[in-house]
Amino acid sequence: MSREKSNEEALLFFLEKLLLKLDEISNRLARVEYLLKSRGLSSAENLSGFLAIVRGPLHSVLESLVRAWRVLFRVGRVDSITESVIYVLSTCRAQSISGVYREVKKLRGRASRRVIAQKLRVLEISGIVVNTGSPRRPKYTLRECLEEMTR
């Protein structure tokens, strides 16, 4: 009987810690959303779409979200398509123009391959994204992702 009681207490303690951690994560996400809204970025609207794109463990999702937020903060005000491109690339997976197009389309509901290619070229010239492929078959990733790998 006492062993059962100690197991129950351990489980309740674990659940309490888990709930506190989830509450902390929720508060952090609310803060990120507030900061994005206060910067005039329409990112808060894309948050659910972004979370759908970066499926995976919660810490990976949050790392991608914070990475995207840091890049957007550094860049300043950008249009919604560029913002979506940065969200897509914040997962640190090198992607072709078609891959970025597909993910932006999931996020926004519509997209143009030509416009995505133009935005990627502008971001590459600005030094925000890097072509890790070849000139004929580009694969884009955020510069910040490459810098994180070298740290």
Domain boundaries of the chain, sorted by first residue: 43-150
d(CA 132, CA 142): 10
Tokens 């072709």 sit at which residue? 96
Give pTM, 2 decimals.
Answer: 0.63
Query: How does pLDDT run across 92-113, given as a tens digit for each residue?
Result: 999 999 999 999 988 888 889 9
Q: Which CATH class, in words, describes the domain spanning 43-150?
A: mainly alpha
Query: How does pLDDT run across 102-150, given as a tens digit for each residue?
Result: 999 888 888 899 999 999 999 999 999 999 999 899 999 999 999 888 8
Packed helices 2-38 and 43-53: angle between N→C axes, nearest 10 degrees: 130
What does the pLDDT average to over 8-25? 68
